[in-house]
Amino acid sequence: MGFVLTAADYAEYVKRTYEVIRVNGDYVTELDLATGDGDHWSNINMGFEKLVADIEALASMNISDELKAIGKSMMAVIGGSSGVLYGSAYLAAAKAVKGKEVLGKQELYDVLEAMLNAIISRGQAQEGFKTMIDSLAPAVKAYKSCIENGSNEKTLCEVVKKAAIDGAENTKNMKAVRGRATYQANKGVGHLDPGAITMSYQISTLMDYVAEKLM
């Protein structure tokens, strides 16, 4: 059993992610207003909305060029630090699979690992800082463990998805080291990080889509 994601598949994943982010707008904004300025959802939603508008062009590229185009679009459309971080992440992912036509098990890991490393480097942040990294990093670690342990793809999808969701949930107990929550007396403790939540939406949707490909 295995999976292969084409550029068209990745475009479908983008569309599905946009829908999940769109319908959770009120919830994510409420989270953001508790610790930040309330614009995280609108920025992320705007970025994915633009990707969906360009979806046919994205789907027609090879996977590396598609990831590069997504990165450039996000950097141009998403406001604030999120645009720079997401843009950098996707540009790094494109380099990681340069020349590849499709993503298999290893290549998808390479994409996620490259995204994580780019966000850590560009944002000067790390796991435990109460950011999107706290969802992505556990997911990447879980993915690596599944590869090393020879786990089947169905198990991989379940484990990586759970790691992303649990990681986002764990931000509730963290003190913010980056972002506006650092200005609060309690450093945001008791509140979920909206960036980690929207990252968990993306990883969960991706793993659900990969799982569908296995059926």
pLDDT digits (tens, 9 = 90+) for 123-170: 999 999 999 999 999 999 999 999 999 999 999 999 999 999 999 999
Instruction: Please give the backbone phi and psi of residue 191, each rounded to the nearest 5 degrees, phi first.
Output: -125, 140
User: Is there a domain that residue 2 lies in?
Assistant: no
pLDDT digits (tens, 9 = 90+) for 7-46: 999 999 999 999 999 999 999 999 999 888 899 999 999 9
CA distances from 60 to 9, 11, 25, 67 (A): 11, 9, 29, 12
pLDDT given at position 36: 82
Instruction: Provide the pLDDT confidence category of residue 177 given band limits of 50, 70 and 90.
Output: confident
CA 122 to chain centroid, in Å, comes to: 15
User: Is there a domain that residue 45 lies in?
Assistant: yes
User: Is there a domain that residue 204 lies in?
Assistant: yes
User: Is there a domain that residue 128 lies in?
Assistant: yes
User: Is there a domain that residue 155 lies in?
Assistant: yes
User: Is there a domain that residue 1 lies in?
Assistant: no
pLDDT given at position 40: 93
- Is a pLDDT exceeding 70 seen at residue 180? no
pLDDT given at position 174: 94
Is 10 or 215 the better-scoring residue by pLDDT?
A: 10
Which CATH number covers residue 183?
Answer: 1.25.40.340
**What residue numbers bound the domain in which 91 lies?**
7-214
Q: Which residues contact 207 (CB under 8 A, 6 or more apart)?
A: 157, 158, 160, 161, 164
pLDDT digits (tens, 9 = 90+) for 37-88: 899 999 999 999 999 999 999 999 999 999 999 999 999 999 778 999 999 9
99-104: long-range contacts, CB 8 A cutoff, minimum separation 24 = 99/64, 100/62, 100/63, 100/64, 101/6, 101/62, 101/63, 102/4, 102/5, 102/6, 102/7, 102/63, 103/4, 103/5, 103/10, 103/63, 104/2, 104/3, 104/4, 104/5
User: Is there a domain that residue 208 lies in?
Assistant: yes
**Could you give the percent of the chain with pLDDT greater than 70?**
95
pTM of the shown model: 0.95
Per the structure, the count of domains in the chain is 1
